[in-house]
């Protein structure tokens, strides 16, 4: 497939990530169909996209004519089977392997031959997702960072069967979206989470052992290593439930004790203290 020929992108999942991916694709002049089983979710996602585009116009980063064109290029659907002529699909549904596999079996039927089936998973093996389709060579990981319109990075993850043509098409799309790409092998956590989550987990151990207060640990890392946000605050922003599930993926997938999730992290998740989204984590919000 010629890499320049992506015109119609389907984004599955209208949550924060899906809406962000759709917005960035629309900004580059692509036609986008946003798919979600929930009508309410779709309306919310589309609203989020419109607000994001309007904000760029306000800041002088997007011409109003381009905003109107982008909005006109957005379609929505509650079923994948309704969508036709798909060049490139990006799945951004919940991190649930069975759900993703079902979506990929459906995508197999709607994406054109030679098209790309990408997943925005942060932790599920690309090879396993590809194996449920009839074209594992067309399946690839395209891991955007949150918030998508702001963050510069896209991690591209090649599964065992991913073809060079699929990689080239995916890289071309990411570059067209103004992103910088890195390539990772299909190993637990890929690059970013493989290094980030153990750091956040270690900060939890430091807090649990009384090495310092949450504030001191975060200030030390912020000012001592020039990070914009301390590890505990960052964990709160990511969601402690998400941090724990990725830590569990690393521990199980790599089988090494050094990845074991901190008991304090598990206890906070058990308490329902997920961080910013629930009003309490290592800090109160």
CATH of the domain at 54: 3.40.50.720
Model confidence band, residue 1 (pLDDT cutoffs 50, 70, 90):
very low
pLDDT digits (tens, 9 = 90+) for 180-214: 999 999 999 999 999 999 999 999 999 999 999 99
Is 95 within any annotated ligand binding site?
A: yes
Query: Would residue 77 count as lying in a domain?
Result: yes
Quick one: 88 and 214 in the same domain?
A: no
Domain span at 267: 194-278
Is 239 within any annotated ligand binding site?
A: no
Q: Considering 185, 207, 233, which residue would you say is the last residue of a domain?
A: 185
Give the sign of the dihedral formed by CA 161, CA 164, CA 166, CA 172. Answer: positive
Percentage of the residues of the chain whose pLDDT score is greater than 90: 96
Phi first, then psi, for residue 56 (nearest 5°) are: -65, -40
Quick one: 45 and 131 in the same domain?
A: yes
pLDDT of residue 123: 86
pTM: 0.92
Domain count, the chain: 2
Quick one: 13 and 100 in the same domain?
A: yes
Is 277 within any annotated ligand binding site?
A: yes
pLDDT of residue 4: 52
Q: Residue 2: is its pLDDT beyond 80?
A: no
Query: Would residue 250 count as lying in a domain?
Result: yes
Quick one: 179 and 56 in the same domain?
A: yes
Quick one: 49 and 175 in the same domain?
A: yes
pLDDT of residue 258: 96
Q: Considering 185, 206, 228, which residue would you say is the last residue of a domain?
A: 185
Is 96 within any annotated ligand binding site?
A: no
Q: Which two tokens stand for residue 1?
A: 């497939």
Q: Considering 147, 165, 185, which residue would you say is the last residue of a domain?
A: 185
Query: Would residue 204 count as lying in a domain?
Result: yes
Just list the catalytic residues: 122, 143, 155, 193
How far apart, in Å, are the Cα atoms of 46 and each of 144, 226, 262, 272? 19, 36, 38, 29
């Amino acid at each position: 497939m010629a890499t320049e020929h992506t015109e119609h992108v389907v984004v599955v999942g209208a949550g924060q990530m899906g809406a962000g991916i759709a917005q960035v694709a629309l900004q580059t002049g692509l036609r986008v169909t946003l798919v979600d089983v929930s009508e309410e979710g779709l309306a919310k996602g589309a609203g989020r996209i419109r607000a994001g585009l309007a904000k760029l116009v306000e800041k002088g980063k997007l011409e109003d004519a381009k905003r109107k064109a982008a909005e006109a290029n957005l379609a929505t659907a509650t079923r994948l089977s309704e969508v036709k002529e798909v060049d490139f699909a990006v799945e951004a549904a919940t991190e649930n392997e069975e759900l993703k596999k079902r979506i990929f079996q459906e995508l197999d039927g709607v994406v054109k031959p030679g098209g790309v089936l990408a997943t925005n998973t942060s932790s599920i093996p690309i090879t396993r997702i590809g194996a449920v389709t009839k074209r594992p060579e067309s399946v690839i990981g395209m891991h955007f960072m949150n918030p998508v319109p702001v963050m510069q990075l896209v991690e591209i993850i090649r599964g065992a069967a991913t073809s060079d043509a699929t990689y080239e098409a995916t890289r071309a799309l990411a570059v067209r979206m103004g992103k910088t790409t890195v390539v990772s092998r299909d190993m637990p956590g890929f690059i970013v989470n493989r290094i980030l989550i153990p750091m956040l987990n270690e900060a939890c151990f430091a807090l649990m052992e009384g090495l310092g207060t949450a504030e001191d640990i975060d200030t030390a890392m912020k000012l001592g290593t020039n990070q914009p946000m301390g590890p505990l605050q960052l964990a709160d922003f990511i969601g402690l439930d998400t941090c724990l599930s990725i830590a569990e993926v690393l521990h199980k997938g790599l089988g090494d004790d050094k990845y074991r999730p901190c008991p304090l992290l598990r206890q906070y998740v058990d308490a329902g203290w997920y961080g910013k989204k629930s009003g309490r984590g290592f800090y109160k919000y």
